[in-house]
Amino acid sequence: MPPGFSGRGPMEGSRSGRAGIRGTWALAALVALGMFVWVAIPVVLIRPFEAQTPLGIALAYELRQKAPAVTLGGLVLLLPLLVRLARHVTRGWQWVPLVLLAALGGFPAWFARQNHFEWMFHPLSDPTYAPATLVQSVDDRDMVVAVEIGGDAVAWPVRQMGYHHIVQDKVGGVPVVSTY
């Protein structure tokens, strides 16, 4: 066999061989970047404490809902491209962009299955209670979310709920979720 010929296709040094690998790099980068953008758009559009448009919210929820399927499909497309590129790696440094490209595709596939809002706003895990006369951290003018079920009454201070945004609890033996 002539030098530089693998027997699997055009000679590696030929123009058509280089163009094919360049095309594979471009397609793999496009797929990975597309997955990244698909997952990043909802993160950018849905930001707590900032004004949001109805169109932005609708788009973010639509993309977020479809993100697991889209990123799974992206991985199905990306993996064979990465395998093809890995077969053409001849120098150690060439693994670096290949690994970065795999990470650029893998990260969105993982992130699409996460709820990053829970990372920012941890749910209040163990609400505790005391009679209102004994609580010093709540002022008489503070707003509260109050619930009474079956003679059992609780009140969660909005100021304390502000970070958590949600309280899961039982009132009168009934599971409740409170938010404001």
Using one digit for the tens of pLDDT, what is the confidence trace for 72-118?
999 999 999 999 999 998 888 989 999 999 999 999 999 999 988 77
The pLDDT of residue 135 is above 90? no
Domain of residue 63 covers 15-120
Specify whether 103 is located in the same domain as 71. yes
103 and 24 inside one domain? yes
Query: Final residue of a domain: which of 70, 87, 120?
Result: 120
Range of 15-29, 84-98, 164-178 with top mean pLDDT:
84-98
Tally the domains of the chain. 2
- Whether 80 and 87 have beta carbons less than 8 Å apart is answered as no
pTM: 0.65
Instruction: Identify whether 89 is part of a domain.
Output: yes
* Mean pLDDT of all residues in 52-73: 95
CB atoms within 10 A of CB 3: 7
SS3 27: helix
pLDDT tens, position by position, 2-18:
455 454 544 455 555 67
**Would you say residue 74 lies in a domain?**
yes
Let me know whether 114 and 143 are in one domain. Answer: no
Sign for the CA dihedral angle at 117, 118, 120, 126 comes to: positive
Whether residue 160 is found in the same domain as residue 116: no
CB contact set of 60 (below 8 Å; sequence gap of 6+): 41, 42, 45, 46
